[in-house]
Amino acid sequence: MSPLALTLLYLLALNALTLGLFWWDKRCAIERRWRVPESTLLTLCLIGGSLGAKTGQGIFRHKTRKEPFRTSLNAIAVLHIGFLGALVLPEFRAAVMVFLTHATSYVLGLAATWIPAA
């Protein structure tokens, strides 16, 4: 599997999980049951699940007024948008692809050592 395909699969799964947790947390809030910690939701957003989080926030109308959660989520989303915007720069895109290639090799156990490109 190519590094780009593996990364896209990771992001798809992570965003689906994050969206599902927003739904679950909303159900638990309505039923006054145990809730998903905000730190868990924000961590999932930070590692790539911000699209699923913003979608869940809009669809389920969940955590739209909760501060500082809302501000933190928006900051993470802006960070991700900035990262995606930077991918139009050829040097940055090349560096990201080198990183993804090395990371994929490391995760799949194809390399004994992982040495990032300089």
pLDDT at 20: 97
pLDDT at 65: 87
pLDDT at 88: 86
| pTM > 0.85: yes or no | no
Low-confidence ranges of the chain (pLDDT < 50): 112
Q: Residue 76 and residue 46: Cα distance in Å, rounded?
A: 6
Give percent helix, percent strand, percent coil of the chain, each to the nearest 5: 75, 0, 25
Q: Residue 80 and residue 75: Cα distance in Å, rounded?
A: 9
pLDDT at 102: 87
Which stretches does DSSP call E strand in 39-104? none
